[in-house]
């Protein structure tokens, strides 16, 4: 217990120093950096680096810590993607996206009249896919890490068993969801207080979660996908009409895949391939934008926003028509990320907007939740890791697995329940992403690593934000490479978003002046709504000065921690 309180005091001291030292500069380090949506999780990751672990070790430790300190999106009841660059030049990615249960079927979210029922795909156990996070994190650790499960999971166990001090944002978030949590006995037990609300500074303890994490530490994937934890998941699912069985859990596996790789202005872009649409869409956009030249002062201009938005129309139209789980659908990946396709798109763009309705007749893919989380890691050895993970909605389907202490995802809503029908976020779905047993649902997650001309990691970046992830990551990359911004400025800068359909440019506060809006309208663009776009976590490595720069998005409440 004494060790635990020493750890908490250390967290508080470092956090206070971080808060008081905030400035326009990104966080500075020399040996390693972790940037995540939780300051405590970032500290856990850096502690692993300081003990000699590599970036994969730190990423796995951060991931398990986020399951404790950021339960609204950090998870072991969901899934995600990891992109890795190793010091020996190896580039790879790990797909641990959730899968549809074996008994899932195409029309499972339609009522007797053939009408899409949003409630079925977002609430209750029927909305949950088979979770992949534990399998993915352990696969990465066992193949590319250097430390033991005990070393990387024990910090999360301590945080769950002994508790962590809730900051006011975490307490406020739990209190805001109190009425929703109260609908589920297992959730209310942990995430609500009977006659009062959570307050800033109190210990938040999750002993059931600690027990589950201990099972994973001792038994590896079998400690989650088999045995007592699997029994608890399958039993709770069956009792509430869910589809996940012990067989589904036992048969789940993470998949190592070749990442998608391209080049942009002498930099190498490494990102996630299908079933994520993010990497392909990012490379397709960059290949098109490469044919334009933007002066430094043109950032935020109507010409810049117009051209990027026009490119995005074609990119999102191609995403709608061609992207899905590559194990189930023939994705024309090489064509989509080719320089030829980029040139074709660039040649179609002029000073006047092309209406989205004439670009393609494909049905837009369903928009996924914006409550995802990303973390970026780099170590002193030359390894870099970029991870994006999610439960889909905030706190997933809101159901804690009884006795296991973690919240389940509602990722089944990311499938196309019915072509032409909107999901909870208003975007439609197409055939490539239709529900099939054991299939992985389409995602926009875009964990990305950029190498410099010497093939060394230069930038690690990613973001939550559903369909806005792609445009968020794209613009931060452009801010750094085309406009020479530092990583904090690049992340802080206001963003805009176009996803083909609806045919409009959304924008952030202070992101578009009246003159710019008027000029865009003259070009035939439609101005959408003001909204928050993404919450990125990024790193840049300056080899010349031996400095690592980290930045957490001010739109969120995370932290960059270096040493």
- Look at residue 18 in the predicted model and tell me its pLDDT: 38
128 lies in a domain? yes
- Look at residue 122 in the predicted model and tell me its pLDDT: 86
184 lies in a domain? no
Structure tokens at 255: 């998949």
Omega cis (within 30) before 275: yes
Give the Cα separation of 549 and 544 in Å (integer): 13
Residue 464: which pLDDT band, with cuts at 50, 70 and 90? very high
Question: How many domains does one find in the chain?
Answer: 1
Residue 83 CB partners (closer than 8 Å, separation 6+): 91, 92, 93, 259, 270, 271, 272, 385, 386, 387, 447, 448, 449
Residue 409 CB partners (closer than 8 Å, separation 6+): 75, 77, 78, 79, 98, 127, 128, 129, 131, 390, 391, 392, 396, 397
Residue 365: which pLDDT band, with cuts at 50, 70 and 90? low
E strand segments, 122-209: 164-165, 203-204
What 8-state DSSP symbol labels residue 167? P
Backbone phi, psi, residue 277, to 5°: -90, -10
- Look at residue 425 in the predicted model and tell me its pLDDT: 42
Percentage of the chain lying above the pLDDT 90 cut: 83
Q: What is the mean pLDDT of residues 327-341?
A: 95
Give the Cα separation of 501 and 514 in Å (integer): 23
pLDDT one-digit tens code per residue, 240-271: 999 999 999 999 999 999 999 999 999 999 99
CB 287, CB 338: distance < 8 Å: yes
Does the CA dihedral 260-264-268-269 come out positive or negative? Answer: negative
- Look at residue 240 in the predicted model and tell me its pLDDT: 93
Give the Cα separation of 474 and 282 in Å (integer): 6
Q: CATH number of the domain that 515 lies in?
A: 3.60.20.40
171 lies in a domain? no
Q: Would you give the end-to-end CA distance of the chain in angstroms?
A: 26
Q: How many residues does the chain have?
A: 563
Cα–chain center distance at 166: 23
Q: Does position 186 have pLDDT exceeding 70, yes or no?
A: yes
DSSP letters spanning 221-245: THHHHSHHHHHHHHHHHHHTT----
Structure tokens at 254: 């993470």
Q: Which helix (H) or strand (E) holds 5?
A: helix 2-20
pLDDT one-digit tens code per residue, 494-528: 999 999 999 999 999 999 999 999 999 999 999 99
Sole residue written with tokens 């406009």:
483
What 8-state DSSP symbol labels residue 408? P
19 lies in a domain? no
232 lies in a domain? yes
- Look at residue 368 in the predicted model and tell me its pLDDT: 57
Q: Does position 291 have pLDDT exceeding 90, yes or no?
A: yes
Residue 21: which pLDDT band, with cuts at 50, 70 and 90? very low
22 lies in a domain? no
Backbone phi, psi, residue 79, to 5°: -165, 180
396 lies in a domain? yes
Q: Does position 20 have pLDDT exceeding 50, yes or no?
A: no
pLDDT one-digit tens code per residue, 144-185: 999 999 999 999 999 999 999 999 999 999 999 999 999 999
Domain residues for the domain of 359 are 27-163+205-563
Q: Does position 30 have pLDDT exceeding 90, yes or no?
A: yes
Q: Would you name the residues annotated as active-site residues?
A: 372
CB 374, CB 34: distance < 8 Å: no
Q: Does position 335 have pLDDT exceeding 90, yes or no?
A: yes
Q: Which helix (H) or strand (E) holds 540?
A: strand 537-542
pLDDT one-digit tens code per residue, 293-329: 998 899 999 999 999 999 999 999 999 888 889 999 8
CB 470, CB 480: distance < 8 Å: no
- Look at residue 419 in the predicted model and tell me its pLDDT: 55
pLDDT one-digit tens code per residue, 529-543: 999 999 999 999 999
Q: Does position 350 have pLDDT exceeding 70, yes or no?
A: yes
State the average pLDDT for the chain. Answer: 91
- Strands 527-530 and 505-507 come out as parallel
Residue 148 CB partners (closer than 8 Å, separation 6+): none
CB 270, CB 278: distance < 8 Å: no
CB 121, CB 417: distance < 8 Å: yes
Nearest Cα to Cα of residue 526 among 509, 554, 557, 502: 502
pLDDT one-digit tens code per residue, 372-430: 999 999 999 999 999 999 999 899 999 999 999 999 999 998 887 665 554 444 444 46
Cα–chain center distance at 307: 26
Structure tokens at 475: 């613009």
Q: Which residue has the higher pLDDT, 120 or 425?
A: 120
pLDDT one-digit tens code per residue, 191-246: 999 889 999 999 999 999 999 999 999 999 999 999 999 999 999 999 999 999 99
83 lies in a domain? yes
- Look at residue 5 in the predicted model and tell me its pLDDT: 38
């Amino acid at each position: 217990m004494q060790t635990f309180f020493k750890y908490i005091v250390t967290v508080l001291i470092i956090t206070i120093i971080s808060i008081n030292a905030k400035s326009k500069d990104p966080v500075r380090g020399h040996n390693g950096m972790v940037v995540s949506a939780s300051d405590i999780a970032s500290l856990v990751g850096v502690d692993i680096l300081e003990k000699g672990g590599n970036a994969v070790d730190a990423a796995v430790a951060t991931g398990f810590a986020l399951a404790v300190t950021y339960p609204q999106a950090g998870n072991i009841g969901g899934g995600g993607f990891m992109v890795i660059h190793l010091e020996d030049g190896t580039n790879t990615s790990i797909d641990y996206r959730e899968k549809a249960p074996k008994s899932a079927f195409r029309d499972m979210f339609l009522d007797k009249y053939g009408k899409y029922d949003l409630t079925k795909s977002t609430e209750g156990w029927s909305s949950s896919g088979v979770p992949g996070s534990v399998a993915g994190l352990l696969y990465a650790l066992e193949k590319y890490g250097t430390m033991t499960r005990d070393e990387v999971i024990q910090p999360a166990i301590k945080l769950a068993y002994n508790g962590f001090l809730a900051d006011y944002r975490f307490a406020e978030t739990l209190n805001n969801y109190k009425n929703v949590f109260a609908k589920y006995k297992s959730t209310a037990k942990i995430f609500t207080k009977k006659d009062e609300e959570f307050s800033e500074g109190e210990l938040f303890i999750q002993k059931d979660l600690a027990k589950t994490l201990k099972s994973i530490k001792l038994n590896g994937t079998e400690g989650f996908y088999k045995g007592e934890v699997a029994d608890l998941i399958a039993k709770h699912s069956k009792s509430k009409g869910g589809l996940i069985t012990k067989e589904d859990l036992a048969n789940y596996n993470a998949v190592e895949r070749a990442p998608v790789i391209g080049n942009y202005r002498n930099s190498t872009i490494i990102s996630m391939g299908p079933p994520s649409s993010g990497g392909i869409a990012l490379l397709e956009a960059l290949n098109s934008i490469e044919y334009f030249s933007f002066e430094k002062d043109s950032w935020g201009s109507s010409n810049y926003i117009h051209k990027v938005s026009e490119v995005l129309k074609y990119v999102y139209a191609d995403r709608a028509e061609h992207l899905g789980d590559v194990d189930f659908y023939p994705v024309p990946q090489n064509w989509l990320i080719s320089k030829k396709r980029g040139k074709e798109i660039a040649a179609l763009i002029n000073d006047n907007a092309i209406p989205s309705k004439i670009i393609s007749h494909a049905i837009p893919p369903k928009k996924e939740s914006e409550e995802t989380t990303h973390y970026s890691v780099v170590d002193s050895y030359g390894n870099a890791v970029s991870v994006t993970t999610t439960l889909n909605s905030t706190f997933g389907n809101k159901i804690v697995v009884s006795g296991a202490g973690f919240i389940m995802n509602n990722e089944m809503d990311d499938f196309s329940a019915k072509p032409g029908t909107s999901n909870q976020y208003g975007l439609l779905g197409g055939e490539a992403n239709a529900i099939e047993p054991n299939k992985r649902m389409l995602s926009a997650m875009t964990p990305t690593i950029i190498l410099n001309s010497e093939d060394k990691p230069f930038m690690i970046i990613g973001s939550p934000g559903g369909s806005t992830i792609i445009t968020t990551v794209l613009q931060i990359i452009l801010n750094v490479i085309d406009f020479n911004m530092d990583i904090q400025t690049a992340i802080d800068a206001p963003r805009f978003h176009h996803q083909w359909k609806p045919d409009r440019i959304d924008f952030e506060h202070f992101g578009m002046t009246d003159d710019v809006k008027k000029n865009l309208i003259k070009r035939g663009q439609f101005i959408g709504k003001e909204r928050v776009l993404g919450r990125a976590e990024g790193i840049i490595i300056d080899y010349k000065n031996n400095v690592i720069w980290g930045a957490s998005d001010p739109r969120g409440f995370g932290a960059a921690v270096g040493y």
